[in-house]
Structure 1
C-alpha cells in the first residue's frame, strides 16, 4: 500500500526548516559598536534591542506593544455597565409609568409620587427600587434583568467564564454561587494559616465547585494566582474611574442578583487575595478615552490585557536586575502580537545563546564580557573580505587561497589547526584515520578532525611588519576611528591566515605610543588628549624590527596630523603645538634609523592638512618610502594593497 502524506502550516513555534540564525551578521554588528567605543556587553544589548536584518529587535516588539495598548485605550471607555443600567432603568420606569397612567386610583397616584421622588443618581434609584412593588410585570422583569446583569458582571470580573454559566439564573443558582464564595473564602483562610491539609481541602472544593473554574488549577497556589490577577485588574478598573463612577458601582454591587451577601462575599474575597498576593498591581490605573463602552467584565479583561502588555514591555525592556530573554512570556507575547513576534524573540535568544556557547563572547577575569579571539578572527575575516572586494574593483585583483608568499612544500607535515589553508597530506591523513579506528573500533567515525595533517610550506621571504595607527582625538572627531580599526583587523587577519611567518606588531600613538594586540585595539575607546607622538611609535617599531633581524622590515603609518609630541630620555612625553623643531628633528631621526635597517616605510596620510603634507614629503625623501592619501573608506584597501605589493616585490 502506498502511503499518503498530508502537509499543513507549522504551528509549533519557529519554522523547523528555517535557516539557522545569522551569527556573522550579529557579530559584525556587535563588532562595529565595539570598535566605535561601546563595551561588548552594551554592544550585545544594543544588537538585541535593534535586532538584525531578518529579526525584529526588542525595541520594535516593545513599540508594537505600546501601539496595541494605545489602540485599546483610544477605542473604549469604562462606563458600559453604568450606561446599560441607566438604559434598562429608564425602560423599567417608563413601563411602570405607562401601567400607572392607566389606573385612576389613589394608589397609582401615590406610586407616581414615589417614582418622582427617586434620587437623581442611577445607583440610588436602583437601591430605592429594590423593595418597590412593581405594578407592571414588564417593568419588574426589566428591573430583575438589571439585578441579574449586575450579578453576572461582578462575578465575571473575578471568575473567568462565569457570564456564560449564569445566563438564566434561578434562586438556587444564586444560593449555589454564594455557597461557593463562602467555601472559597474558607479555603483561602486555611491556605493563609498554612494548614497541613490544605491540599485535601482544595481537592474537596474543586470536586464540589470545579464548574466555576475552567482554568482547572492543580493546587491552591495556581487558584490564587488566577483569582488574584483578575481581582487586581478589577481594582485597577475602579482606580481608573471617577469618584462618582466608583461610588455608583460600589452601591450597585449590593444589588447583584438582588442579594447583598454576594457583594459582601466578593469584597471579602478581594481582601484575602490582596493579602495573599501583595505583589500584584493593586494601585495601577489607566485612562480610556474611546467611544465604545465596555461592561465591567469586558473592562476588567481589558485592564488585565493592559497589565499583560505592561509586563511584556518590562520583560522586553530587560532593564531590571538579572534580566534575561528567558523571562519573556512567549504565550502572552503570541496573544498580543502573533506568532511571528514569538519567532523573533526566540531567534534573539538563540543568537545570544549561540554567541556565548560558540565562544564568540567570553567573560574576562574582572567579570566583564569581551570578544573572544575567535570573534576577532571573524571580524578580521569580514574586514579583509571588504578590503579585498575594494582591491578587486580597483585593480582587478582576486582572492587567493595560497598560504604564504610562495607556498613551496618543505616535505614535512603537521596537524591541521583552525585557519590553515595549506593542502592536506592525504597519505598521512588516511594513515592517522586507520590507526585511530584500529584503537577505537569499527563503529568510530571514518574521518575525524584530529586525523587531518597538512603539508608544510616555506615562504621565499619573511617580513617583520609594524602598523602604527594614530589614536589622537582628531581621528575620532573626523570619523576615521572605525576605518582605522577595520584596517588593523583586516591586515592582522591577512597576516595570521595567509602569511603566518610574518611578524606583525600593532602600535597606537597619541600623547604616548604603546603596543597592543588586535583585541585591545578593537575595543579601544577614543580619549581626548593632545599629542601625536610619532617619535615614540617609531621607537617601538624599531624595537620590533630589531627582534627579527632575519626578516624584511616593513613599517606602515596611518596618521591625520603632523608630530606634535616626542619622548624625552626620561620617558616623559612633551607636547607643543605648533610642533617645535626639536620634535620634528627627533622624529626624523627615527625615520633615518629605520631607513638604515632597510625598512620599507609607507605613510597613509588622512586629511588635507598642508603641514602634515609637508612633513610626510620630508619623511618620504629621507626614508625612501611612499606616501599615500586615501579616503577613510579606502584606508583598508590602501594599507592591505601596499602590504601585498611589498610582498610581491620581495
Structure 2
C-alpha cells in the first residue's frame, strides 16, 4: 500500500473551521464605543451592536424580520379545512358512483338505496356516519368510503405523531391493530409516569417494541412526553383556530378513523394524559389563517407547531428575558425555518459576543452589570486621540507623531523611522537590520535601506500634575456637548497613558457637586437632569490633586458652558441658585486664587457664547495667569490636548 492510499482529503465537518480567520473586533468595538460615548451603558451598547450587526454580519433585528416574514407567510397562505375538503370530495365521488350503479337497476332494493342516499344529512360528518353500515354496490363508492376512513385515521395520527401518515399509506387491519396496541401501551406508560412510578425499564421496553413510530428517538420518558405534548398542543390549537362548525364536523368524523372507534378513544386518552403532564404547554390559544391553500389535520398541526417554534425563536432573538444569552438560540430550528445561512449568522453573532468577553473587552461588576475594561478604554482612547491629532495636523500643519515625549533623554526603546522623524538613529539596531535583510536575500554585500532605520524614542523627564475639570450639568447634554466632552477626556487620558506615563491625570466632573472619576466611570456616565455648575467644588478637588504632586508642573483645564451657579458650604452641602449669587462667585474666585498660589494657571475652554460666561472666564484667566479658549465642539479635543502640551512645558 502506498502512502497515497493511506490518506484521503475532504471538507472539514467536525466543528468550526480551524483555518478560518479570527473575528475582526475593531469595527464592533468602535460601534460599541460610539454608543457609550452617546450615553448608552456598555450592556446597552453591546445589545445594540448585536441587534444591528456589523457591515459584514446581519444582526438579530434582521434575523427577527425574516422570522416574522416566514410566520406571516404561513398564516397568509393556508387555511385549516383540508381534511374536511378531502372528505367531502371523496364522499361526493362515492355518492355519484353509487347513484350511477343504482340507476340501471329496476329493483325495489335499488330505489330504496337511492332513497337512503337522498335522505343523507347535509353535514358531511353526519353523512359519513350514516353510511357506516351501507351496502355499497359501486366498487368506486366502496373504495372512496374506505379512503375516507383511512384518511381520517392517517390525519388523526399524523396530528399527534409526526411522520405517521407516510408510514400508514397502505393500511391493513394488522397495521391498525399495531397502532392501536402502541397507543394503548403509550397511555399505560404515561399513566404510570404520572402516578410517580419509575418508568425507566418500562420506557426501554416500550421503545424496543414501538420505536419505529418515534423517529425523534427520545432517550427518556420525559423527552417522549415533551415531544408528544408539543405536537398534541399544536393539534389542539389548530382545532381552536377553526370555526365552531368545522370543529364540530371534525369531532364527529374522528370516530370513523380506520373504521375503529377505539383509535380515536386512545388519541383522546393520550391528549388527556399529556395535558395533565404538561399543563404549561399552550393548549388554549388560536391562530387566524387567511390563505387559500387547505391543510389537513397533520399538516395543520405541523403549521401550528412551526408557528410556536417561530415565536420561541423570536423570543430567543429578542434577548429581552432575564439571563438571555445568544447561546439560547436553537440553531437547528433556526436553520430548519430560515435556512443554514441564518443559523451561521446567529452562530457568528454568538461568537462575536464571546470573543468580546473572552478578549477582556467587557467585565462584569458586583451588581451583575457590564463595563468596559481598561483594554477597551485604551482602544477608544486611541481612536479619540487619533481624531484629535488629525484635527491638530489639519489646523496647525502638525503631523501625527509617535514621540514618547516632547524632547530630551532616550527612553531605551526604539521604533521604525517614518518620514519626518528627527530623532537620533539607533545605529546598532539599524546596522543589524541591514545585515539580517542582506543575509535573507543571500547577498554578500551589506547596504543600508530606509526600511532598516530605527530611531531612539526620547521623553521629557519633567512631570505634570493635570486636573481636567469637566462640566456635567444638564446644559452640556441639552446643547450636544456631552459626547465631545467625553471624547476629549478619553483622548487626553490616552495621550498621558501612552506618551507621558509619569504625568498624573485626575478627571473631575462637576454639576451640583463635584467628584473625582476614573476614565471608565466617565465614559459610562449617563446623562441625568441636574441643575448647578459647582466650579468651586471642582477647583477644591483640583487643588488637592496638585498638592499631592508638589514636584510636578501643575496644569488645570476646565471645560464648561455656564458660569458658576453652585458652591460648597462649610458643612459640605451644595448651595444652588439661579441667577448666580455674589457669594457663589466670590468663593469660586477665592478658589481660583488658591489654585494660582500652587503655581497653576487655569485654562478655561468656554463652550457657547453667553456674555455672562465670557465675562466670568475672562476674570478667571486674568486672576490665575491662564487663558480662555473658545473652541467649536469638533475642535474641543484638539484645543485641550494642545493646551496640555503647552502647559506641561511650564
Q: TM-score, normalised by structure 2?
A: 0.86
Assess, with a 3 A threshold, how the Cα gap between structure 1 residues 10 and 156 changes in structure 2: closer, same or farther.
Answer: same
**Counterparts of 2:129 and 2:101 in 1: how far apart (Å)?**
21
Counterpart of 1:615 in structure 2 is 616
Match for 2:138 among 129, 136, 139?
136
**Counterparts of 1:542 and 1:44 in 2: how far apart (Å)?**
38
Assess, with a 3 A threshold, how the Cα gap between structure 1 residues 13 and 299 changes in structure 2: closer, same or farther.
Answer: farther
Counterpart of 1:255 in structure 2 is 256
Q: How does 1:619-634 map to 2 (within 5 A)?
A: 619-634=620-635
Deviations 1:353-395 (A, max 9, x none): 3333333332334444333333332322232223223333333
Match for 2:151 among 146, 149, 156?
149
Assess, with a 3 A threshold, how the Cα gap between structure 1 residues 67 and 410 changes in structure 2: closer, same or farther.
Answer: closer
Following superposition, the deviation at residue 403 of structure 1 comes to: 2.0
Following superposition, the deviation at residue 142 of structure 1 comes to: 1.4
**Counterparts of 2:339 and 2:472 in 1: how far apart (Å)?**
48
Matched, 1:85 2:115: no
Q: CA RMSD in A?
A: 3.0
Cα contact 2:403–2:457 (8 A) shared by 1: no
Counterpart of 2:101 in structure 1 is 99
Counterpart of 2:568 in structure 1 is 567
Counterpart of 1:549 in structure 2 is 550
Q: How does 1:188-227 map to 2 (within 5 A)?
A: 188-196=190-198, 198-227=199-228
Query: Larger deviation: 383-392 or 5-14?
Result: 5-14
Cα contact 1:13–1:343 (8 A) shared by 2: no
**Counterparts of 1:17 and 1:393 in 2: how far apart (Å)?**
42
Q: How does 1:7-86 map to 2 (within 5 A)?
A: 16-86=18-88
**Counterparts of 2:366 and 2:191 in 1: how far apart (Å)?**
51
Following superposition, the deviation at residue 17 of structure 1 comes to: 4.3
Following superposition, the deviation at residue 627 of structure 1 comes to: 2.3
**Counterparts of 1:39 and 1:574 in 2: how far apart (Å)?**
30
Following superposition, the deviation at residue 149 of structure 1 comes to: 1.2
Following superposition, the deviation at residue 72 of structure 1 comes to: 0.9
Matched, 1:532 2:533: yes
Counterpart of 1:231 in structure 2 is 232
Q: How does 1:380-419 map to 2 (within 5 A)?
A: 380-406=381-407, 408-409=409-410
Following superposition, the deviation at residue 124 of structure 1 comes to: 0.6
Assess, with a 3 A threshold, how the Cα gap between structure 1 residues 279 and 569 changes in structure 2: closer, same or farther.
Answer: closer
Cα contact 1:533–1:567 (8 A) shared by 2: yes
Counterpart of 1:444 in structure 2 is none
Matched, 1:264 2:265: yes
Counterpart of 2:474 in structure 1 is 473
Assess, with a 3 A threshold, how the Cα gap between structure 1 residues 411 and 151 changes in structure 2: closer, same or farther.
Answer: closer
Counterpart of 2:451 in structure 1 is none
Counterpart of 1:313 in structure 2 is 314
**Counterparts of 1:149 and 1:329 in 2: how far apart (Å)?**
34
Query: Aligned to 2:117, what secondary structure does the other structure show?
Result: helix
Q: How does 1:101-500 map to 2 (within 5 A)?
A: 101-196=103-198, 198-406=199-407, 408-409=409-410, 459-500=460-501
**Counterparts of 2:267 and 2:339 in 1: how far apart (Å)?**
35
**Counterparts of 2:338 and 2:118 in 1: how far apart (Å)?**
52
**Counterparts of 2:212 and 2:298 in 1: how far apart (Å)?**
19
Assess, with a 3 A threshold, how the Cα gap between structure 1 residues 545 and 261 changes in structure 2: closer, same or farther.
Answer: same
**Counterparts of 1:566 and 1:14 in 2: how far apart (Å)?**
60
**Counterparts of 2:300 and 2:247 in 1: how far apart (Å)?**
14
Query: Aligned to 1:633, what secondary structure does the other structure show?
Result: helix
Query: Larger deviation: 386-395 or 241-250?
Result: 386-395
**Counterparts of 1:225 and 1:529 in 2: how far apart (Å)?**
54
**Counterparts of 1:74 and 1:254 in 2: how far apart (Å)?**
31
The runs of 5 or more residues in structure 1 that have no matched partner are 414-422, 428-454
Following superposition, the deviation at residue 218 of structure 1 comes to: 3.4
**Counterparts of 1:18 and 1:251 in 2: how far apart (Å)?**
59
Following superposition, the deviation at residue 256 of structure 1 comes to: 1.0
Counterpart of 2:438 in structure 1 is none
Cα contact 2:334–2:342 (8 A) shared by 1: yes
Count of residue correspondences: 612
**Counterparts of 2:570 and 2:213 in 1: how far apart (Å)?**
89
**Counterparts of 2:275 and 2:567 in 1: how far apart (Å)?**
72
**Counterparts of 2:54 and 2:536 in 1: how far apart (Å)?**
43
Cα contact 1:605–1:627 (8 A) shared by 2: yes
Structure 1 residue ranges, 4+ long, deviating more than 6 angstroms after superposition: 4-13, 410-413
Following superposition, the deviation at residue 116 of structure 1 comes to: 1.8
Following superposition, the deviation at residue 634 of structure 1 comes to: 2.6
Counterpart of 1:583 in structure 2 is 584
Following superposition, the deviation at residue 74 of structure 1 comes to: 0.7
Counterpart of 1:430 in structure 2 is none
Cα contact 2:404–2:457 (8 A) shared by 1: no
**Counterparts of 2:61 and 2:258 in 1: how far apart (Å)?**
47
Assess, with a 3 A threshold, how the Cα gap between structure 1 residues 169 and 569 changes in structure 2: closer, same or farther.
Answer: closer
Q: TM-score, normalised by structure 1?
A: 0.86
Cα contact 1:150–1:252 (8 A) shared by 2: yes
Query: Larger deviation: 588-597 or 119-128?
Result: 588-597
Assess, with a 3 A threshold, how the Cα gap between structure 1 residues 251 and 550 changes in structure 2: closer, same or farther.
Answer: same
Following superposition, the deviation at residue 606 of structure 1 comes to: 1.3
